[in-house]
Structure 1
Amino acid sequence: MAFSELSRPWRARGHSNPRGGLLLCHGFTGCPQSMLPWARDHADRGWAVELPLLPGHATTWQDLEARRWQDWYGHVREAALELSERHGPIAVGGLSMGGALTLALAQDPMLRGRLAALVAVNPGMTLPAVAGAAGLLAPLVRTVDGIGSDVARDGVVEEAYERTPLRAVAQLRRLFSRTRRCLADVQVPLLLATSRADHTVPPHDSDLVAAGVSGPVQRLSLPHSYHLAPLDHDAPRLFETSARFLARHVPATAGGAR
Protein backbone atom coordinates (compact mmCIF):
# COMPACT_ATOMS: atom_id res chain seq x y z
CA MET A 1 0.00 0.00 0.00
CA ALA A 2 1.02 3.63 -0.33
CA PHE A 3 2.10 5.06 3.02
CA SER A 4 0.91 8.53 3.96
CA GLU A 5 2.47 11.22 6.13
CA LEU A 6 0.83 9.47 9.09
CA SER A 7 3.44 6.72 8.75
CA ARG A 8 6.33 9.06 9.55
CA PRO A 9 8.03 9.35 12.96
CA TRP A 10 6.09 11.63 15.30
CA ARG A 11 7.08 13.60 18.36
CA ALA A 12 5.64 16.17 20.75
CA ARG A 13 8.30 18.27 22.42
CA GLY A 14 6.60 21.65 22.46
CA HIS A 15 5.64 21.65 26.15
CA SER A 16 7.38 24.34 28.19
CA ASN A 17 7.20 22.06 31.24
CA PRO A 18 6.39 18.49 30.08
CA ARG A 19 4.90 15.99 32.49
CA GLY A 20 7.59 13.47 31.51
CA GLY A 21 8.88 11.41 28.62
CA LEU A 22 6.88 8.71 26.84
CA LEU A 23 8.29 6.44 24.14
CA LEU A 24 5.78 4.52 21.99
CA CYS A 25 6.63 1.53 19.77
CA HIS A 26 4.51 0.35 16.84
CA GLY A 27 4.07 -3.22 15.61
CA PHE A 28 5.50 -5.58 12.99
CA THR A 29 4.87 -4.55 9.35
CA GLY A 30 2.97 -1.47 10.60
CA CYS A 31 4.02 2.12 11.29
CA PRO A 32 3.38 5.07 13.66
CA GLN A 33 -0.09 5.59 12.14
CA SER A 34 -1.42 2.76 14.33
CA MET A 35 -0.19 4.57 17.46
CA LEU A 36 -0.93 8.19 16.60
CA PRO A 37 -4.21 8.48 18.55
CA TRP A 38 -2.41 7.29 21.69
CA ALA A 39 0.55 9.59 21.06
CA ARG A 40 -1.64 12.64 20.45
CA ASP A 41 -3.85 11.93 23.46
CA HIS A 42 -0.89 11.78 25.83
CA ALA A 43 0.81 14.76 24.23
CA ASP A 44 -2.37 16.72 24.95
CA ARG A 45 -2.03 15.64 28.58
CA GLY A 46 1.46 17.17 28.75
CA TRP A 47 3.77 14.27 27.90
CA ALA A 48 6.80 14.68 25.68
CA VAL A 49 6.09 11.82 23.27
CA GLU A 50 8.48 10.06 20.91
CA LEU A 51 6.94 7.73 18.31
CA PRO A 52 9.74 6.46 16.04
CA LEU A 53 9.45 4.54 12.78
CA LEU A 54 11.17 1.17 13.13
CA PRO A 55 13.83 0.25 10.53
CA GLY A 56 12.44 -1.56 7.50
CA HIS A 57 8.90 -0.28 7.99
CA ALA A 58 6.73 2.04 5.85
CA THR A 59 9.06 1.64 2.87
CA THR A 60 8.94 -1.73 1.06
CA TRP A 61 8.66 -5.29 2.29
CA GLN A 62 12.05 -5.91 0.66
CA ASP A 63 13.52 -3.39 3.08
CA LEU A 64 11.94 -5.20 6.02
CA GLU A 65 13.23 -8.52 4.65
CA ALA A 66 16.82 -7.30 5.05
CA ARG A 67 16.48 -6.27 8.71
CA ARG A 68 17.32 -8.11 11.90
CA TRP A 69 15.52 -7.90 15.23
CA GLN A 70 18.58 -6.09 16.62
CA ASP A 71 17.85 -3.23 14.19
CA TRP A 72 14.38 -2.72 15.66
CA TYR A 73 15.57 -3.08 19.23
CA GLY A 74 18.61 -0.85 18.77
CA HIS A 75 16.45 1.91 17.32
CA VAL A 76 14.03 2.06 20.25
CA ARG A 77 16.87 1.61 22.73
CA GLU A 78 18.61 4.72 21.41
CA ALA A 79 15.32 6.60 21.56
CA ALA A 80 14.82 5.52 25.19
CA LEU A 81 18.32 6.58 26.18
CA GLU A 82 17.92 9.98 24.55
CA LEU A 83 14.49 10.59 26.04
CA SER A 84 15.61 9.60 29.54
CA GLU A 85 18.59 11.96 29.30
CA ARG A 86 16.13 14.82 28.88
CA HIS A 87 13.39 13.74 31.28
CA GLY A 88 14.79 11.30 33.81
CA PRO A 89 12.90 8.01 34.26
CA ILE A 90 10.47 7.63 31.35
CA ALA A 91 7.49 5.53 30.35
CA VAL A 92 7.46 3.14 27.40
CA GLY A 93 4.39 1.78 25.63
CA GLY A 94 4.04 -0.62 22.74
CA LEU A 95 1.60 -2.55 20.60
CA SER A 96 2.14 -6.15 19.46
CA MET A 97 5.83 -6.45 18.48
CA GLY A 98 6.13 -2.99 20.00
CA GLY A 99 4.91 -4.53 23.25
CA ALA A 100 7.67 -7.13 23.04
CA LEU A 101 10.20 -4.35 22.41
CA THR A 102 8.81 -2.47 25.41
CA LEU A 103 9.40 -5.49 27.63
CA ALA A 104 12.84 -6.08 26.11
CA LEU A 105 13.86 -2.52 26.99
CA ALA A 106 12.92 -3.19 30.62
CA GLN A 107 15.26 -6.20 30.58
CA ASP A 108 18.27 -4.14 29.48
CA PRO A 109 20.79 -3.54 32.31
CA MET A 110 21.87 -0.28 30.68
CA LEU A 111 18.31 1.05 31.03
CA ARG A 112 17.92 0.05 34.68
CA GLY A 113 16.61 3.06 36.55
CA ARG A 114 15.75 4.90 33.33
CA LEU A 115 12.32 3.27 32.86
CA ALA A 116 9.60 3.99 35.42
CA ALA A 117 6.54 2.31 33.89
CA LEU A 118 5.46 0.21 30.90
CA VAL A 119 2.24 -0.16 28.93
CA ALA A 120 1.99 -3.22 26.68
CA VAL A 121 -1.04 -3.64 24.40
CA ASN A 122 -1.54 -7.14 23.00
CA PRO A 123 2.19 -7.89 23.26
CA GLY A 124 3.46 -10.72 21.08
CA MET A 125 5.33 -13.54 22.79
CA THR A 126 4.66 -16.55 20.54
CA LEU A 127 4.16 -17.41 16.89
CA PRO A 128 2.45 -20.41 15.25
CA ALA A 129 4.61 -23.53 15.05
CA VAL A 130 5.00 -23.12 11.30
CA ALA A 131 6.87 -19.85 11.93
CA GLY A 132 9.74 -21.93 13.25
CA ALA A 133 10.49 -22.88 9.66
CA ALA A 134 10.20 -19.33 8.31
CA GLY A 135 13.94 -18.94 7.87
CA LEU A 136 14.20 -22.22 5.96
CA LEU A 137 11.20 -21.47 3.76
CA ALA A 138 12.22 -17.90 2.94
CA PRO A 139 14.49 -18.78 -0.03
CA LEU A 140 11.56 -20.64 -1.62
CA VAL A 141 8.59 -18.56 -0.47
CA ARG A 142 9.73 -15.01 0.20
CA THR A 143 6.42 -13.60 1.43
CA VAL A 144 3.01 -14.54 2.79
CA ASP A 145 -0.17 -12.49 3.17
CA GLY A 146 -0.05 -9.34 5.27
CA ILE A 147 -1.36 -9.16 8.83
CA GLY A 148 -2.56 -5.55 8.97
CA SER A 149 -5.92 -3.92 9.77
CA ASP A 150 -7.19 -6.27 12.49
CA VAL A 151 -9.71 -3.66 13.70
CA ALA A 152 -13.34 -4.05 14.77
CA ARG A 153 -14.32 -0.45 13.92
CA ASP A 154 -15.79 -0.03 10.47
CA GLY A 155 -13.80 1.98 7.99
CA VAL A 156 -10.50 1.92 9.90
CA VAL A 157 -7.48 0.78 7.87
CA GLU A 158 -3.98 0.29 9.17
CA GLU A 159 -1.10 1.48 7.04
CA ALA A 160 0.92 -1.73 6.81
CA TYR A 161 2.59 -4.01 4.28
CA GLU A 162 0.29 -6.15 2.17
CA ARG A 163 2.95 -8.88 2.10
CA THR A 164 4.97 -10.24 5.04
CA PRO A 165 8.55 -11.38 4.31
CA LEU A 166 9.37 -14.71 5.91
CA ARG A 167 12.95 -13.70 6.72
CA ALA A 168 11.50 -10.94 8.88
CA VAL A 169 9.12 -13.44 10.53
CA ALA A 170 12.17 -15.49 11.50
CA GLN A 171 13.68 -12.38 13.11
CA LEU A 172 10.42 -11.65 14.91
CA ARG A 173 10.46 -15.16 16.32
CA ARG A 174 13.96 -14.58 17.70
CA LEU A 175 12.86 -11.34 19.34
CA PHE A 176 9.83 -12.99 20.92
CA SER A 177 11.86 -15.97 22.15
CA ARG A 178 14.56 -13.79 23.69
CA THR A 179 12.08 -11.47 25.36
CA ARG A 180 9.93 -14.32 26.71
CA ARG A 181 12.99 -16.07 28.14
CA CYS A 182 13.98 -12.99 30.17
CA LEU A 183 10.56 -11.83 31.40
CA ALA A 184 11.62 -12.22 35.03
CA ASP A 185 14.05 -9.33 34.50
CA VAL A 186 11.10 -6.95 34.00
CA GLN A 187 10.72 -5.31 37.42
CA VAL A 188 9.02 -1.97 36.73
CA PRO A 189 5.21 -1.54 36.95
CA LEU A 190 3.36 -2.79 33.87
CA LEU A 191 -0.09 -1.98 32.51
CA LEU A 192 -1.05 -4.98 30.37
CA ALA A 193 -3.97 -4.36 28.00
CA THR A 194 -5.50 -7.31 26.16
CA SER A 195 -8.17 -7.48 23.49
CA ARG A 196 -10.73 -10.21 24.02
CA ALA A 197 -10.89 -11.00 20.29
CA ASP A 198 -7.46 -10.72 18.67
CA HIS A 199 -6.85 -12.33 15.28
CA THR A 200 -3.13 -11.48 15.19
CA VAL A 201 -1.70 -12.22 18.65
CA PRO A 202 -3.38 -14.81 20.90
CA PRO A 203 -4.64 -13.29 24.19
CA HIS A 204 -2.75 -16.09 25.96
CA ASP A 205 0.47 -14.21 25.17
CA SER A 206 -0.60 -11.55 27.67
CA ASP A 207 -1.09 -14.27 30.28
CA LEU A 208 2.49 -15.43 29.64
CA VAL A 209 3.70 -11.88 30.25
CA ALA A 210 1.67 -11.43 33.43
CA ALA A 211 2.95 -14.72 34.83
CA GLY A 212 6.56 -14.10 33.83
CA VAL A 213 7.44 -10.56 34.90
CA SER A 214 8.69 -9.76 38.39
CA GLY A 215 7.17 -6.30 38.80
CA PRO A 216 3.58 -5.32 39.62
CA VAL A 217 1.03 -5.86 36.83
CA GLN A 218 -2.29 -4.10 36.24
CA ARG A 219 -4.53 -5.89 33.73
CA LEU A 220 -6.93 -4.08 31.40
CA SER A 221 -9.47 -5.94 29.28
CA LEU A 222 -10.40 -4.48 25.89
CA PRO A 223 -13.69 -6.28 25.17
CA HIS A 224 -14.74 -4.35 22.07
CA SER A 225 -11.47 -4.23 20.15
CA TYR A 226 -9.42 -6.49 17.93
CA HIS A 227 -5.62 -6.40 17.75
CA LEU A 228 -5.11 -2.72 16.89
CA ALA A 229 -6.69 -1.37 20.06
CA PRO A 230 -5.31 2.20 19.75
CA LEU A 231 -7.42 2.52 16.56
CA ASP A 232 -10.43 0.62 17.86
CA HIS A 233 -13.54 0.99 20.02
CA ASP A 234 -11.73 0.70 23.36
CA ALA A 235 -9.15 3.37 22.53
CA PRO A 236 -10.60 6.05 24.87
CA ARG A 237 -10.64 3.59 27.77
CA LEU A 238 -7.10 2.48 26.98
CA PHE A 239 -5.81 6.05 26.84
CA GLU A 240 -7.53 7.11 30.05
CA THR A 241 -6.24 4.07 31.94
CA SER A 242 -2.75 4.55 30.52
CA ALA A 243 -2.72 8.21 31.57
CA ARG A 244 -3.76 7.40 35.14
CA PHE A 245 -1.25 4.55 35.36
CA LEU A 246 1.65 6.67 34.12
CA ALA A 247 0.72 9.59 36.37
CA ARG A 248 0.88 7.21 39.33
CA HIS A 249 4.22 5.59 38.48
CA VAL A 250 6.34 8.08 36.52
CA PRO A 251 7.92 10.81 38.65
CA ALA A 252 7.20 14.33 37.42
CA THR A 253 10.27 16.08 36.07
CA ALA A 254 10.76 19.36 37.84
CA GLY A 255 11.47 22.10 35.34
CA GLY A 256 10.84 19.84 32.34
CA ALA A 257 13.85 18.84 30.25
CA ARG A 258 17.13 18.31 31.99
Structure 2
Amino acid sequence: MAFSELSRPWRARGHSNPRGGLLLCHGFTGTPQSIRPWAEDHAARGWAVELPLLPGHATTWQDLAAHRWQDWYHQVREAALELSARHGPIAVGGLSMGGSLALALGEDPELRGRVAALVAANPGVTLPGAAGAAGLLAPLLRTVPGIGSDVAREGAVEEAYERTPLRGVAQLRRLFSRTRDHLADVTVPLLLATSRTDHTVPPRDSDLVAAGVSGPVQRLSLPRSYHLVPLDHDAPQLFEASARFLDRHVPGPAGGAR
Protein backbone atom coordinates (compact mmCIF):
# COMPACT_ATOMS: atom_id res chain seq x y z
CA MET A 1 0.00 0.00 0.00
CA ALA A 2 0.99 3.65 -0.29
CA PHE A 3 2.24 5.14 2.95
CA SER A 4 1.19 8.66 3.91
CA GLU A 5 2.99 11.31 5.93
CA LEU A 6 1.35 9.80 9.03
CA SER A 7 3.71 6.85 8.62
CA ARG A 8 6.81 9.02 8.94
CA PRO A 9 8.70 9.51 12.24
CA TRP A 10 7.02 12.11 14.44
CA ARG A 11 8.09 14.16 17.43
CA ALA A 12 6.70 16.90 19.67
CA ARG A 13 9.36 19.03 21.30
CA GLY A 14 7.77 22.47 21.16
CA HIS A 15 6.90 22.76 24.84
CA SER A 16 8.68 25.52 26.77
CA ASN A 17 8.45 23.41 29.95
CA PRO A 18 7.65 19.82 28.90
CA ARG A 19 6.06 17.43 31.39
CA GLY A 20 8.73 14.86 30.57
CA GLY A 21 9.93 12.56 27.80
CA LEU A 22 7.77 9.84 26.24
CA LEU A 23 9.01 7.32 23.68
CA LEU A 24 6.37 5.37 21.72
CA CYS A 25 7.07 2.25 19.63
CA HIS A 26 4.91 0.94 16.78
CA GLY A 27 4.30 -2.67 15.78
CA PHE A 28 5.57 -5.24 13.28
CA THR A 29 4.79 -4.41 9.60
CA GLY A 30 3.04 -1.22 10.80
CA THR A 31 4.17 2.39 11.11
CA PRO A 32 3.90 5.38 13.46
CA GLN A 33 0.45 6.01 11.94
CA SER A 34 -1.00 3.22 14.10
CA ILE A 35 -0.10 5.05 17.33
CA ARG A 36 0.01 8.65 16.14
CA PRO A 37 -3.25 9.51 18.00
CA TRP A 38 -1.62 8.33 21.25
CA ALA A 39 1.43 10.48 20.56
CA GLU A 40 -0.63 13.56 19.70
CA ASP A 41 -2.83 13.15 22.77
CA HIS A 42 0.15 13.06 25.14
CA ALA A 43 1.92 15.88 23.30
CA ALA A 44 -1.18 18.01 23.91
CA ARG A 45 -0.84 17.17 27.63
CA GLY A 46 2.69 18.58 27.66
CA TRP A 47 4.88 15.55 26.98
CA ALA A 48 7.90 15.72 24.68
CA VAL A 49 7.08 12.74 22.47
CA GLU A 50 9.37 10.71 20.20
CA LEU A 51 7.71 8.34 17.73
CA PRO A 52 10.40 6.75 15.54
CA LEU A 53 9.93 4.67 12.40
CA LEU A 54 11.51 1.25 12.84
CA PRO A 55 14.00 0.03 10.20
CA GLY A 56 12.42 -1.87 7.32
CA HIS A 57 8.98 -0.35 7.83
CA ALA A 58 6.95 1.97 5.56
CA THR A 59 9.10 0.99 2.58
CA THR A 60 8.69 -2.53 1.13
CA TRP A 61 8.31 -5.97 2.64
CA GLN A 62 11.62 -6.88 0.98
CA ASP A 63 13.28 -4.16 3.04
CA LEU A 64 11.72 -5.52 6.22
CA ALA A 65 12.97 -9.02 5.37
CA ALA A 66 16.54 -7.70 5.28
CA HIS A 67 16.52 -6.43 8.88
CA ARG A 68 17.12 -8.17 12.20
CA TRP A 69 15.37 -7.63 15.52
CA GLN A 70 18.55 -5.97 16.81
CA ASP A 71 18.02 -3.20 14.24
CA TRP A 72 14.58 -2.42 15.68
CA TYR A 73 15.86 -2.54 19.24
CA HIS A 74 18.88 -0.35 18.48
CA GLN A 75 16.56 2.28 16.97
CA VAL A 76 14.36 2.59 20.06
CA ARG A 77 17.29 2.24 22.49
CA GLU A 78 19.11 5.16 20.89
CA ALA A 79 15.90 7.19 20.99
CA ALA A 80 15.48 6.37 24.70
CA LEU A 81 19.04 7.41 25.49
CA GLU A 82 18.68 10.70 23.63
CA LEU A 83 15.32 11.47 25.21
CA SER A 84 16.51 10.67 28.74
CA ALA A 85 19.60 12.83 28.24
CA ARG A 86 17.28 15.79 27.71
CA HIS A 87 14.51 15.00 30.19
CA GLY A 88 15.84 12.66 32.86
CA PRO A 89 13.85 9.46 33.57
CA ILE A 90 11.39 8.89 30.73
CA ALA A 91 8.28 6.88 29.96
CA VAL A 92 8.17 4.26 27.21
CA GLY A 93 5.02 2.94 25.57
CA GLY A 94 4.32 0.57 22.73
CA LEU A 95 1.72 -1.40 20.81
CA SER A 96 2.09 -5.07 19.86
CA MET A 97 5.75 -5.64 18.91
CA GLY A 98 6.25 -2.08 20.12
CA GLY A 99 5.05 -3.27 23.53
CA SER A 100 7.67 -6.02 23.45
CA LEU A 101 10.32 -3.44 22.54
CA ALA A 102 9.15 -1.23 25.42
CA LEU A 103 9.49 -4.16 27.82
CA ALA A 104 12.94 -4.95 26.40
CA LEU A 105 14.01 -1.38 27.17
CA GLY A 106 12.71 -1.86 30.71
CA GLU A 107 14.89 -4.99 30.96
CA ASP A 108 18.07 -3.28 29.73
CA PRO A 109 20.51 -2.88 32.67
CA GLU A 110 22.16 0.11 31.02
CA LEU A 111 18.82 1.94 30.98
CA ARG A 112 18.19 1.35 34.68
CA GLY A 113 17.23 4.70 36.17
CA ARG A 114 16.58 6.19 32.72
CA VAL A 115 13.18 4.49 32.19
CA ALA A 116 10.70 5.33 34.95
CA ALA A 117 7.50 3.68 33.68
CA LEU A 118 6.15 1.52 30.86
CA VAL A 119 2.82 1.32 29.03
CA ALA A 120 2.24 -1.74 26.86
CA ALA A 121 -0.90 -2.14 24.75
CA ASN A 122 -1.54 -5.70 23.55
CA PRO A 123 2.16 -6.58 23.77
CA GLY A 124 3.34 -9.68 21.95
CA VAL A 125 5.67 -12.18 23.60
CA THR A 126 4.67 -15.43 21.83
CA LEU A 127 4.00 -16.65 18.30
CA PRO A 128 2.10 -19.75 17.12
CA GLY A 129 4.14 -22.94 16.90
CA ALA A 130 4.24 -22.81 13.10
CA ALA A 131 6.12 -19.52 13.30
CA GLY A 132 9.08 -21.44 14.70
CA ALA A 133 9.72 -22.73 11.19
CA ALA A 134 9.51 -19.30 9.57
CA GLY A 135 13.27 -19.06 9.06
CA LEU A 136 13.38 -22.49 7.38
CA LEU A 137 10.37 -21.80 5.17
CA ALA A 138 11.46 -18.33 4.09
CA PRO A 139 13.56 -19.49 1.09
CA LEU A 140 10.55 -21.43 -0.23
CA LEU A 141 7.63 -19.26 0.91
CA ARG A 142 8.85 -15.68 1.11
CA THR A 143 5.65 -14.06 2.40
CA VAL A 144 2.26 -14.73 3.96
CA PRO A 145 -0.81 -12.45 4.05
CA GLY A 146 -0.49 -9.23 6.02
CA ILE A 147 -1.67 -8.75 9.59
CA GLY A 148 -2.70 -5.09 9.45
CA SER A 149 -5.96 -3.29 10.26
CA ASP A 150 -7.27 -5.45 13.11
CA VAL A 151 -9.69 -2.69 14.17
CA ALA A 152 -13.31 -2.88 15.31
CA ARG A 153 -14.12 0.76 14.53
CA GLU A 154 -15.69 1.11 11.11
CA GLY A 155 -13.57 3.02 8.64
CA ALA A 156 -10.32 2.83 10.63
CA VAL A 157 -7.43 1.52 8.53
CA GLU A 158 -3.83 0.82 9.47
CA GLU A 159 -1.03 1.72 7.08
CA ALA A 160 0.87 -1.57 6.99
CA TYR A 161 2.34 -4.08 4.57
CA GLU A 162 -0.13 -6.22 2.67
CA ARG A 163 2.35 -9.12 2.77
CA THR A 164 4.40 -10.31 5.76
CA PRO A 165 7.93 -11.61 5.04
CA LEU A 166 8.73 -14.87 6.81
CA ARG A 167 12.31 -13.75 7.41
CA GLY A 168 10.83 -10.88 9.40
CA VAL A 169 8.60 -13.29 11.32
CA ALA A 170 11.68 -15.30 12.28
CA GLN A 171 13.27 -12.13 13.69
CA LEU A 172 10.05 -11.21 15.49
CA ARG A 173 10.06 -14.63 17.14
CA ARG A 174 13.62 -14.05 18.39
CA LEU A 175 12.68 -10.67 19.82
CA PHE A 176 9.63 -12.11 21.58
CA SER A 177 11.65 -14.99 23.02
CA ARG A 178 14.37 -12.68 24.32
CA THR A 179 11.87 -10.29 25.88
CA ARG A 180 9.89 -13.12 27.47
CA ASP A 181 13.01 -14.72 28.94
CA HIS A 182 14.01 -11.50 30.74
CA LEU A 183 10.65 -10.22 31.99
CA ALA A 184 11.76 -10.57 35.60
CA ASP A 185 14.27 -7.77 34.95
CA VAL A 186 11.39 -5.30 34.50
CA THR A 187 11.13 -3.58 37.89
CA VAL A 188 9.52 -0.24 36.94
CA PRO A 189 5.73 0.27 37.08
CA LEU A 190 3.84 -1.12 34.09
CA LEU A 191 0.42 -0.22 32.71
CA LEU A 192 -0.76 -3.25 30.75
CA ALA A 193 -3.69 -2.59 28.38
CA THR A 194 -5.39 -5.61 26.84
CA SER A 195 -8.19 -5.94 24.31
CA ARG A 196 -10.70 -8.66 25.12
CA THR A 197 -10.89 -9.53 21.41
CA ASP A 198 -7.60 -9.50 19.52
CA HIS A 199 -7.05 -11.32 16.22
CA THR A 200 -3.32 -10.55 16.09
CA VAL A 201 -1.86 -11.10 19.58
CA PRO A 202 -3.65 -13.45 21.99
CA PRO A 203 -4.75 -11.73 25.24
CA ARG A 204 -2.93 -14.46 27.17
CA ASP A 205 0.34 -12.78 26.17
CA SER A 206 -0.61 -9.94 28.51
CA ASP A 207 -1.16 -12.49 31.28
CA LEU A 208 2.34 -13.88 30.68
CA VAL A 209 3.77 -10.37 30.91
CA ALA A 210 1.86 -9.57 34.11
CA ALA A 211 3.03 -12.80 35.72
CA GLY A 212 6.63 -12.40 34.59
CA VAL A 213 7.63 -8.85 35.48
CA SER A 214 8.95 -7.96 38.91
CA GLY A 215 7.56 -4.43 39.20
CA PRO A 216 4.00 -3.29 39.99
CA VAL A 217 1.41 -3.87 37.26
CA GLN A 218 -1.82 -2.00 36.60
CA ARG A 219 -4.21 -3.80 34.24
CA LEU A 220 -6.59 -2.05 31.84
CA SER A 221 -9.26 -4.04 30.00
CA LEU A 222 -10.37 -2.73 26.60
CA PRO A 223 -13.75 -4.34 25.84
CA ARG A 224 -14.70 -2.61 22.57
CA SER A 225 -11.46 -2.72 20.59
CA TYR A 226 -9.45 -5.22 18.61
CA HIS A 227 -5.65 -5.18 18.36
CA LEU A 228 -4.99 -1.61 17.21
CA VAL A 229 -6.38 0.19 20.23
CA PRO A 230 -5.05 3.70 19.42
CA LEU A 231 -7.20 3.63 16.24
CA ASP A 232 -10.18 1.93 17.85
CA HIS A 233 -13.18 2.59 20.11
CA ASP A 234 -11.26 2.38 23.40
CA ALA A 235 -8.54 4.84 22.39
CA PRO A 236 -9.80 7.59 24.76
CA GLN A 237 -9.75 5.18 27.71
CA LEU A 238 -6.20 4.09 26.85
CA PHE A 239 -4.97 7.66 26.50
CA GLU A 240 -6.56 8.82 29.76
CA ALA A 241 -5.29 5.81 31.72
CA SER A 242 -1.83 6.23 30.23
CA ALA A 243 -1.68 9.94 31.10
CA ARG A 244 -2.77 9.36 34.71
CA PHE A 245 -0.37 6.45 35.13
CA LEU A 246 2.60 8.38 33.80
CA ASP A 247 1.78 11.41 35.93
CA ARG A 248 1.98 9.17 39.00
CA HIS A 249 5.17 7.37 38.11
CA VAL A 250 7.39 9.66 36.01
CA PRO A 251 9.23 12.42 37.89
CA GLY A 252 8.36 15.99 36.90
CA PRO A 253 10.82 18.37 35.19
CA ALA A 254 12.46 19.36 38.47
CA GLY A 255 12.78 15.73 39.57
CA GLY A 256 9.71 15.68 41.81
CA ALA A 257 6.54 13.62 41.44
CA ARG A 258 3.43 15.13 39.94
Deviations for 1:116-139, whole angstroms, at most 9, x for unmatched residues? 000000000100100000000000
Q: Name the counterpart of 1:30.
A: 30
Partners of 2:166 and 2:143 lie apart in 1 by: 5
Deviations for 1:23-68, whole angstroms, at most 9, x for unmatched residues? 0000000000001100000000000000000000000000000000
> Please, which runs of 5 or more residues in structure 2 have no aligned partner?
none
Report SS of the residue matched to 2:35: helix
Partners of 2:109 and 2:254 lie apart in 1 by: 26
Q: Name the counterpart of 1:120.
A: 120
Q: Name the counterpart of 1:198.
A: 198
Kindly provide the amino acid, as one letter, of the partner of residue 125 in structure 2: M
Partners of 1:161 and 1:103 lie apart in 2 by: 24
Kindly provide the amino acid, as one letter, of the partner of residue 116 in structure 1: A
Q: Name the counterpart of 2:218.
A: 218
1:120-159 equivalences in 2 (<5 Å):
120-159=120-159
Kindly provide the amino acid, as one letter, of the partner of residue 210 in structure 2: A
Partners of 1:146 and 1:227 lie apart in 2 by: 14
Shift of 1:253: 1.0
Report SS of the residue matched to 2:159: coil
Partners of 1:35 and 1:227 lie apart in 2 by: 12
Q: Name the counterpart of 2:65.
A: 65
TM-score by length of 2: 0.98
Partners of 2:31 and 2:95 lie apart in 1 by: 11
Sequence identity of aligned pairs in percent? 85
1:82-101 equivalences in 2 (<5 Å):
82-101=82-101
Shift of 1:164: 0.1
Shift of 1:254: 2.6
Partners of 1:47 and 1:163 lie apart in 2 by: 35
Q: Name the counterpart of 1:106.
A: 106
Q: Name the counterpart of 1:49.
A: 49
Deviations for 1:78-137, whole angstroms, at most 9, x for unmatched residues? 000000000000000000000000000011111000000000000001001000000000
Partners of 2:110 and 2:181 lie apart in 1 by: 18
Q: Name the counterpart of 1:19.
A: 19
Partners of 1:247 and 1:43 lie apart in 2 by: 13
Partners of 2:215 and 2:174 lie apart in 1 by: 24
Shift of 1:154: 0.2
> Please, which runs of 5 or more residues in structure 1 have no aligned partner?
none
Q: Name the counterpart of 1:182.
A: 182
**Residue 170 (str. 1) matches residue 170 (str. 2):** yes
Kindly provide the amino acid, as one letter, of the partner of residue 204 in structure 1: R
Partners of 1:94 and 1:149 lie apart in 2 by: 17
